[in-house]
Amino acid sequence: MSYQKPFLREEFDRRVQDTKKRMQKAGLDLLICQDPANMYWLTGYDSWSFYTPQAVLVHDNEDMPLWFGRPIDAKSATVTTNLPAENIFGFAETLVHHPENHPFDDLCGLINSKGWGSDRIGVELDTHYYTARAHQHLVRGLPNAKISDSRELVNWARLVKSEAELVYMREAGRIISRTMREAIAKLKPGVRDFEVVGDIYRNQILGEGKFGDYTGLCPLIQIGEGTSTCHLTWTGQAIPESALVVMELGAARRHYNAPLTRTIHVGQPPQEISRLASVIVEGGDLALEAAKPGVAVEEVAAVFQRTLKRNGYSKDSRVGYSIGVGYPPDWGERTISIRADETTLLQEGMCFHFQSGVWLDDFGAAISEPFVVTAKGGQRFCDVERRLVIID
Protein backbone atom coordinates (compact mmCIF):
# COMPACT_ATOMS: atom_id res chain seq x y z
CA MET A 1 0.00 0.00 0.00
CA SER A 2 1.36 3.44 -0.89
CA TYR A 3 1.91 6.13 1.73
CA GLN A 4 -1.34 7.82 2.71
CA LYS A 5 -0.82 11.57 2.93
CA PRO A 6 -2.71 13.16 5.85
CA PHE A 7 -4.32 15.95 3.79
CA LEU A 8 -5.22 16.84 0.24
CA ARG A 9 -2.77 19.07 -1.59
CA GLU A 10 -5.31 21.90 -1.49
CA GLU A 11 -5.03 21.96 2.30
CA PHE A 12 -1.26 22.44 2.13
CA ASP A 13 -1.60 25.07 -0.60
CA ARG A 14 -3.99 27.04 1.59
CA ARG A 15 -1.56 26.89 4.52
CA VAL A 16 1.37 28.08 2.42
CA GLN A 17 -0.64 31.00 1.05
CA ASP A 18 -1.72 31.99 4.55
CA THR A 19 1.89 31.81 5.70
CA LYS A 20 3.03 34.03 2.82
CA LYS A 21 0.46 36.67 3.77
CA ARG A 22 1.78 36.61 7.33
CA MET A 23 5.34 36.89 6.00
CA GLN A 24 4.44 39.94 3.95
CA LYS A 25 2.86 41.56 6.99
CA ALA A 26 5.98 40.78 9.03
CA GLY A 27 8.28 42.14 6.32
CA LEU A 28 9.88 38.79 5.40
CA ASP A 29 10.88 37.51 1.97
CA LEU A 30 12.06 34.09 3.12
CA LEU A 31 11.05 31.94 6.07
CA ILE A 32 13.26 29.10 7.32
CA CYS A 33 11.34 26.58 9.46
CA GLN A 34 13.21 23.99 11.48
CA ASP A 35 10.42 23.02 13.85
CA PRO A 36 9.29 19.55 12.62
CA ALA A 37 5.68 20.41 13.46
CA ASN A 38 5.85 23.45 11.18
CA MET A 39 7.64 21.49 8.47
CA TYR A 40 4.86 18.89 8.65
CA TRP A 41 2.06 21.46 8.71
CA LEU A 42 3.41 23.28 5.66
CA THR A 43 4.32 20.26 3.50
CA GLY A 44 3.33 16.97 5.16
CA TYR A 45 6.99 16.02 5.63
CA ASP A 46 7.15 13.28 8.26
CA SER A 47 10.27 11.36 9.22
CA TRP A 48 12.28 10.81 12.39
CA SER A 49 15.00 13.08 11.08
CA PHE A 50 14.74 16.03 13.44
CA TYR A 51 17.85 14.85 15.27
CA THR A 52 19.88 16.45 12.49
CA PRO A 53 19.67 19.90 10.82
CA GLN A 54 16.79 20.18 8.36
CA ALA A 55 14.42 22.88 7.23
CA VAL A 56 11.46 23.85 5.07
CA LEU A 57 11.89 27.14 3.23
CA VAL A 58 8.96 29.32 2.18
CA HIS A 59 9.84 32.15 -0.22
CA ASP A 60 7.44 34.82 -1.32
CA ASN A 61 8.30 34.22 -4.99
CA GLU A 62 8.14 30.40 -4.92
CA ASP A 63 4.85 28.59 -5.51
CA MET A 64 5.80 25.70 -3.23
CA PRO A 65 8.16 25.33 -0.26
CA LEU A 66 11.63 23.83 -0.48
CA TRP A 67 12.79 20.94 1.68
CA PHE A 68 16.39 20.83 2.91
CA GLY A 69 17.89 18.00 4.91
CA ARG A 70 20.14 14.99 5.15
CA PRO A 71 20.48 13.16 1.81
CA ILE A 72 19.31 9.82 3.21
CA ASP A 73 16.06 11.52 4.25
CA ALA A 74 15.38 13.14 0.88
CA LYS A 75 13.34 10.12 -0.24
CA SER A 76 11.14 10.65 2.84
CA ALA A 77 10.36 14.10 1.47
CA THR A 78 9.44 12.55 -1.88
CA VAL A 79 7.18 9.98 -0.21
CA THR A 80 5.40 12.14 2.37
CA THR A 81 4.99 15.48 0.54
CA ASN A 82 3.70 16.82 -2.75
CA LEU A 83 6.93 18.71 -3.39
CA PRO A 84 8.46 18.26 -6.85
CA ALA A 85 11.95 16.77 -7.09
CA GLU A 86 13.46 20.15 -7.91
CA ASN A 87 12.28 21.48 -4.53
CA ILE A 88 14.05 18.78 -2.50
CA PHE A 89 17.68 19.44 -1.53
CA GLY A 90 20.15 17.38 0.49
CA PHE A 91 23.31 18.65 2.13
CA ALA A 92 26.66 16.92 1.79
CA GLU A 93 26.73 13.74 3.88
CA THR A 94 30.23 14.66 5.08
CA LEU A 95 28.69 17.55 7.04
CA VAL A 96 26.92 15.21 9.49
CA HIS A 97 28.45 15.90 12.93
CA HIS A 98 31.42 17.63 11.37
CA PRO A 99 33.64 19.37 13.96
CA GLU A 100 34.09 22.56 11.92
CA ASN A 101 31.60 22.72 9.06
CA HIS A 102 27.82 22.52 9.29
CA PRO A 103 24.87 21.49 7.06
CA PHE A 104 23.72 25.11 7.10
CA ASP A 105 26.82 25.98 5.13
CA ASP A 106 25.15 24.15 2.25
CA LEU A 107 21.85 25.82 3.08
CA CYS A 108 23.53 29.20 2.68
CA GLY A 109 24.89 28.04 -0.66
CA LEU A 110 21.38 27.07 -1.76
CA ILE A 111 19.94 30.42 -0.67
CA ASN A 112 22.67 32.34 -2.47
CA SER A 113 22.22 30.25 -5.62
CA LYS A 114 18.55 31.25 -5.64
CA GLY A 115 19.46 34.93 -5.48
CA TRP A 116 18.04 35.29 -1.96
CA GLY A 117 21.29 36.18 -0.21
CA SER A 118 20.20 39.76 0.48
CA ASP A 119 16.61 38.93 1.48
CA ARG A 120 14.77 39.60 4.71
CA ILE A 121 14.90 36.18 6.33
CA GLY A 122 12.91 34.92 9.29
CA VAL A 123 14.24 32.08 11.44
CA GLU A 124 12.70 30.20 14.37
CA LEU A 125 15.01 31.39 17.13
CA ASP A 126 13.03 29.76 19.93
CA THR A 127 12.30 26.35 18.44
CA HIS A 128 13.81 23.30 20.12
CA TYR A 129 15.55 22.30 16.90
CA TYR A 130 17.29 25.50 15.88
CA THR A 131 20.69 25.39 17.51
CA ALA A 132 23.03 28.26 18.33
CA ARG A 133 25.60 26.70 16.02
CA ALA A 134 23.15 26.51 13.13
CA HIS A 135 22.37 30.20 13.58
CA GLN A 136 26.06 31.11 13.67
CA HIS A 137 26.68 29.35 10.36
CA LEU A 138 23.59 30.93 8.78
CA VAL A 139 24.62 34.45 9.80
CA ARG A 140 28.19 33.89 8.66
CA GLY A 141 27.13 32.37 5.33
CA LEU A 142 24.61 35.12 4.51
CA PRO A 143 26.40 38.36 5.43
CA ASN A 144 24.11 40.51 3.25
CA ALA A 145 20.83 39.08 4.52
CA LYS A 146 18.62 40.73 7.14
CA ILE A 147 18.01 37.83 9.54
CA SER A 148 15.42 38.18 12.29
CA ASP A 149 13.27 36.09 14.61
CA SER A 150 10.06 34.95 12.89
CA ARG A 151 8.41 34.92 16.34
CA GLU A 152 6.49 31.65 15.87
CA LEU A 153 4.86 32.92 12.67
CA VAL A 154 3.83 29.46 11.47
CA ASN A 155 2.80 28.35 14.95
CA TRP A 156 0.29 31.22 15.04
CA ALA A 157 -0.93 30.30 11.57
CA ARG A 158 -1.72 26.82 12.92
CA LEU A 159 -3.92 28.15 15.71
CA VAL A 160 -7.40 27.79 14.12
CA LYS A 161 -7.92 24.22 12.97
CA SER A 162 -9.59 23.30 9.69
CA GLU A 163 -12.34 20.69 9.61
CA ALA A 164 -9.81 18.21 8.23
CA GLU A 165 -7.52 18.83 11.20
CA LEU A 166 -10.38 18.50 13.67
CA VAL A 167 -11.05 15.00 12.34
CA TYR A 168 -7.61 13.96 13.62
CA MET A 169 -8.03 15.81 16.90
CA ARG A 170 -11.28 13.95 17.57
CA GLU A 171 -9.72 10.62 16.61
CA ALA A 172 -6.84 11.32 19.01
CA GLY A 173 -9.41 12.11 21.68
CA ARG A 174 -11.06 8.74 21.21
CA ILE A 175 -7.72 6.94 21.39
CA ILE A 176 -6.62 8.67 24.59
CA SER A 177 -10.05 8.10 26.16
CA ARG A 178 -9.64 4.37 25.73
CA THR A 179 -5.97 4.48 26.71
CA MET A 180 -6.72 6.35 29.94
CA ARG A 181 -9.53 3.98 30.90
CA GLU A 182 -7.28 0.96 30.32
CA ALA A 183 -4.47 2.58 32.32
CA ILE A 184 -6.79 3.30 35.24
CA ALA A 185 -8.01 -0.30 35.20
CA LYS A 186 -4.39 -1.47 35.45
CA LEU A 187 -3.76 0.47 38.67
CA LYS A 188 -3.84 -2.23 41.34
CA PRO A 189 -1.73 -2.58 44.50
CA GLY A 190 1.54 -4.30 43.68
CA VAL A 191 1.51 -3.42 39.98
CA ARG A 192 4.67 -1.55 39.02
CA ASP A 193 4.36 1.80 37.33
CA PHE A 194 6.34 0.74 34.23
CA GLU A 195 3.89 -2.11 33.66
CA VAL A 196 1.11 0.49 33.48
CA VAL A 197 3.18 2.58 31.08
CA GLY A 198 3.92 -0.44 28.90
CA ASP A 199 0.20 -0.94 28.36
CA ILE A 200 -0.23 2.78 27.74
CA TYR A 201 2.25 2.72 24.87
CA ARG A 202 0.54 -0.32 23.39
CA ASN A 203 -2.89 1.30 23.50
CA GLN A 204 -1.61 4.63 22.16
CA ILE A 205 -0.35 2.92 19.02
CA LEU A 206 -3.14 0.37 18.56
CA GLY A 207 -5.69 3.16 18.60
CA GLU A 208 -9.33 2.40 17.94
CA GLY A 209 -9.48 0.99 14.45
CA LYS A 210 -7.02 3.66 13.34
CA PHE A 211 -3.40 3.67 14.44
CA GLY A 212 -1.92 6.21 16.78
CA ASP A 213 1.36 8.05 16.25
CA TYR A 214 4.09 8.67 18.80
CA THR A 215 3.07 11.61 20.96
CA GLY A 216 4.81 14.90 21.70
CA LEU A 217 5.34 13.90 25.35
CA CYS A 218 5.96 10.50 26.89
CA PRO A 219 3.46 9.19 29.49
CA LEU A 220 3.80 10.93 32.85
CA ILE A 221 2.92 9.12 36.09
CA GLN A 222 3.34 10.24 39.70
CA ILE A 223 2.59 8.28 42.85
CA GLY A 224 2.16 9.49 46.44
CA GLU A 225 4.34 12.48 47.26
CA GLY A 226 5.43 12.51 43.61
CA THR A 227 2.03 13.98 42.78
CA SER A 228 3.19 17.27 44.33
CA THR A 229 5.09 17.82 41.08
CA CYS A 230 3.88 17.34 37.53
CA HIS A 231 6.46 15.95 35.12
CA LEU A 232 7.82 12.75 36.69
CA THR A 233 8.03 9.54 34.67
CA TRP A 234 8.02 5.89 35.73
CA THR A 235 10.66 4.64 38.19
CA GLY A 236 9.82 0.98 38.86
CA GLN A 237 7.72 1.81 41.92
CA ALA A 238 4.92 -0.57 42.85
CA ILE A 239 1.45 0.81 43.50
CA PRO A 240 0.91 0.84 47.30
CA GLU A 241 -2.21 -0.45 49.05
CA SER A 242 -3.30 3.14 49.52
CA ALA A 243 -1.94 5.89 47.30
CA LEU A 244 -2.68 8.89 45.13
CA VAL A 245 -1.75 8.52 41.46
CA VAL A 246 -1.76 11.19 38.73
CA MET A 247 -1.32 10.29 35.06
CA GLU A 248 -0.91 12.75 32.18
CA LEU A 249 -1.14 10.85 28.92
CA GLY A 250 -1.70 11.71 25.30
CA ALA A 251 -2.64 10.18 21.99
CA ALA A 252 -1.90 11.37 18.49
CA ARG A 253 -3.46 10.83 15.06
CA ARG A 254 -1.26 11.92 12.18
CA HIS A 255 0.69 13.89 14.80
CA TYR A 256 -2.34 15.79 16.11
CA ASN A 257 -2.11 15.41 19.89
CA ALA A 258 -4.85 15.17 22.51
CA PRO A 259 -3.48 15.21 26.09
CA LEU A 260 -5.51 14.09 29.11
CA THR A 261 -4.83 13.98 32.86
CA ARG A 262 -6.69 12.09 35.55
CA THR A 263 -6.19 11.70 39.29
CA ILE A 264 -6.78 8.33 40.92
CA HIS A 265 -6.75 7.18 44.53
CA VAL A 266 -6.14 3.53 45.38
CA GLY A 267 -8.21 2.98 48.50
CA GLN A 268 -10.46 5.53 50.15
CA PRO A 269 -8.99 9.04 49.73
CA PRO A 270 -8.47 11.56 52.52
CA GLN A 271 -10.98 14.38 52.58
CA GLU A 272 -8.40 16.98 51.56
CA ILE A 273 -7.70 15.12 48.29
CA SER A 274 -11.38 14.67 47.50
CA ARG A 275 -12.02 18.35 48.14
CA LEU A 276 -9.20 19.57 45.90
CA ALA A 277 -10.32 17.28 43.09
CA SER A 278 -13.92 18.47 43.30
CA VAL A 279 -12.82 22.13 43.14
CA ILE A 280 -10.64 21.40 40.10
CA VAL A 281 -13.56 19.71 38.33
CA GLU A 282 -15.92 22.58 39.15
CA GLY A 283 -13.47 25.23 37.95
CA GLY A 284 -12.64 23.32 34.78
CA ASP A 285 -16.30 22.85 33.89
CA LEU A 286 -16.98 26.56 34.32
CA ALA A 287 -13.92 27.49 32.28
CA LEU A 288 -14.95 25.29 29.36
CA GLU A 289 -18.42 26.81 29.44
CA ALA A 290 -16.82 30.25 29.12
CA ALA A 291 -14.53 29.29 26.21
CA LYS A 292 -16.61 30.78 23.38
CA PRO A 293 -15.65 32.78 20.28
CA GLY A 294 -14.95 36.44 21.05
CA VAL A 295 -14.03 35.80 24.68
CA ALA A 296 -10.53 36.90 25.73
CA VAL A 297 -8.33 34.00 26.83
CA GLU A 298 -7.59 35.76 30.13
CA GLU A 299 -11.31 35.63 30.97
CA VAL A 300 -11.29 31.83 30.74
CA ALA A 301 -8.27 31.71 33.05
CA ALA A 302 -10.00 34.08 35.48
CA VAL A 303 -13.06 31.82 35.73
CA PHE A 304 -10.89 28.95 36.92
CA GLN A 305 -8.76 31.10 39.22
CA ARG A 306 -11.84 32.56 40.89
CA THR A 307 -13.09 29.07 41.64
CA LEU A 308 -9.77 28.15 43.22
CA LYS A 309 -9.59 31.35 45.25
CA ARG A 310 -13.16 30.97 46.52
CA ASN A 311 -12.17 27.59 47.91
CA GLY A 312 -8.85 28.63 49.40
CA TYR A 313 -6.50 27.41 46.67
CA SER A 314 -4.19 29.16 44.23
CA LYS A 315 -2.30 28.33 41.04
CA ASP A 316 0.58 30.46 39.81
CA SER A 317 1.24 28.60 36.55
CA ARG A 318 -0.86 28.83 33.40
CA VAL A 319 -4.03 26.76 33.26
CA GLY A 320 -3.79 25.66 29.64
CA TYR A 321 -2.22 26.11 26.24
CA SER A 322 -2.97 25.64 22.56
CA ILE A 323 -2.48 22.18 21.04
CA GLY A 324 -2.49 20.55 17.62
CA VAL A 325 0.44 19.15 15.65
CA GLY A 326 3.20 18.10 18.01
CA TYR A 327 6.54 16.33 17.81
CA PRO A 328 8.81 15.48 20.76
CA PRO A 329 9.52 17.04 23.16
CA ASP A 330 6.21 18.93 23.30
CA TRP A 331 2.58 18.73 22.21
CA GLY A 332 1.88 22.41 22.87
CA GLU A 333 1.85 24.87 19.96
CA ARG A 334 3.87 27.45 21.93
CA THR A 335 1.48 30.28 21.15
CA ILE A 336 -1.48 30.96 23.46
CA SER A 337 -1.26 30.21 27.16
CA ILE A 338 -4.47 30.34 29.18
CA ARG A 339 -3.43 32.82 31.87
CA ALA A 340 -3.86 36.39 33.03
CA ASP A 341 -2.88 39.14 30.56
CA GLU A 342 -3.48 36.93 27.50
CA THR A 343 -5.83 39.20 25.56
CA THR A 344 -6.13 37.10 22.38
CA LEU A 345 -9.78 36.55 21.50
CA LEU A 346 -10.92 32.98 21.10
CA GLN A 347 -12.04 31.80 17.67
CA GLU A 348 -14.07 28.79 16.71
CA GLY A 349 -11.69 25.96 15.83
CA MET A 350 -8.92 26.83 18.29
CA CYS A 351 -7.84 23.81 20.33
CA PHE A 352 -6.47 23.79 23.86
CA HIS A 353 -5.35 21.53 26.67
CA PHE A 354 -7.03 22.88 29.79
CA GLN A 355 -4.45 21.82 32.38
CA SER A 356 -6.08 22.35 35.75
CA GLY A 357 -3.38 20.79 37.92
CA VAL A 358 -2.87 22.19 41.41
CA TRP A 359 0.27 21.10 43.22
CA LEU A 360 0.52 21.55 46.99
CA ASP A 361 3.46 20.79 49.29
CA ASP A 362 2.59 17.13 49.91
CA PHE A 363 0.32 16.14 47.03
CA GLY A 364 -1.33 17.41 43.91
CA ALA A 365 -4.28 16.70 41.65
CA ALA A 366 -5.09 17.33 38.01
CA ILE A 367 -8.16 16.59 35.90
CA SER A 368 -7.36 18.14 32.55
CA GLU A 369 -9.21 18.27 29.25
CA PRO A 370 -8.39 18.81 25.56
CA PHE A 371 -11.10 20.82 23.83
CA VAL A 372 -12.05 22.83 20.75
CA VAL A 373 -13.68 26.25 20.92
CA THR A 374 -17.25 26.22 19.59
CA ALA A 375 -20.18 28.61 19.67
CA LYS A 376 -21.48 26.70 22.70
CA GLY A 377 -18.17 26.76 24.58
CA GLY A 378 -15.30 24.33 24.88
CA GLN A 379 -16.23 20.98 23.35
CA ARG A 380 -14.30 18.08 24.88
CA PHE A 381 -12.41 15.63 22.68
CA CYS A 382 -12.57 12.92 25.37
CA ASP A 383 -15.34 11.18 27.25
CA VAL A 384 -13.50 9.99 30.38
CA GLU A 385 -15.56 10.99 33.41
CA ARG A 386 -14.35 14.16 35.11
CA ARG A 387 -13.90 13.12 38.73
CA LEU A 388 -11.46 11.75 41.26
CA VAL A 389 -11.30 8.06 40.38
CA ILE A 390 -11.39 5.80 43.44
CA ILE A 391 -10.12 2.22 43.19
CA ASP A 392 -11.24 0.09 46.14
Domains and CATH numbers, the chain: 9-157 (3.40.350.10), 163-391 (3.90.230.10)
CA atoms of 387 and 339, how far apart (whole Å): 23
- Give the Cα-Cα-Cα angle 158, 200, 238 (nearest 5 degrees): 135
Per-residue model confidence as pLDDT tens digits over 89-143: 999 999 999 999 999 999 999 999 999 999 999 999 999 999 999 999 999 999 9
Interatomic CA distance for residues 147 and 390, integer angstroms: 55
Q: What is the pLDDT of residues 202-256, one digit of tens each?
A: 999 999 889 999 999 999 999 999 999 999 999 999 999 999 999 999 999 999 9
Average confidence (pLDDT) over 24-33: 98
pLDDT in tens, 264-273: 999 999 999 9
- Secondary structure string (H, E, C) spanning the chain: CCCCCCCCHHHHHHHHHHHHHHHHHHCCCEEEECCHHHHHHHHCCCCCCCCCCCEEEEECCCCCCEEEECHHHHHHHHHHCCCCHHHEEECCHHHCCCCCCCHHHHHHHHHHHCCCCCCEEEECCCCCCCCHHHHHHHHHHCCCCEEEECCCHHHHHCCECCHHHHHHHHHHHHHHHHHHHHHHHHCCCCCEHHHHHHHHHHHHHHCCCCCCECCCCCCEEEEHHHHHCCCCCCCCCECCCCEEEEEEEEEEECCEEEEEEEEEEECCCCHHHHHHHHHHHHHHHHHHHHCCCCCEHHHHHHHHHHHHHHCCCCCCCCCEEEECECCCCCCEEEEEECCCCCCCECCCCEEEEECCCEECCCCEECCCEEEEEECCEEEECCCCCCCCEEEC
Q: Quick one: pLDDT at residue 208? A: 85
Q: Distance between CA atoms of 255 and 343, rounded to whole angstroms? A: 28
* Global model pTM greater than 0.95: yes
**Segment 178-210, tens digit of pLDDT:** 999 999 999 999 999 999 999 999 999 999 889
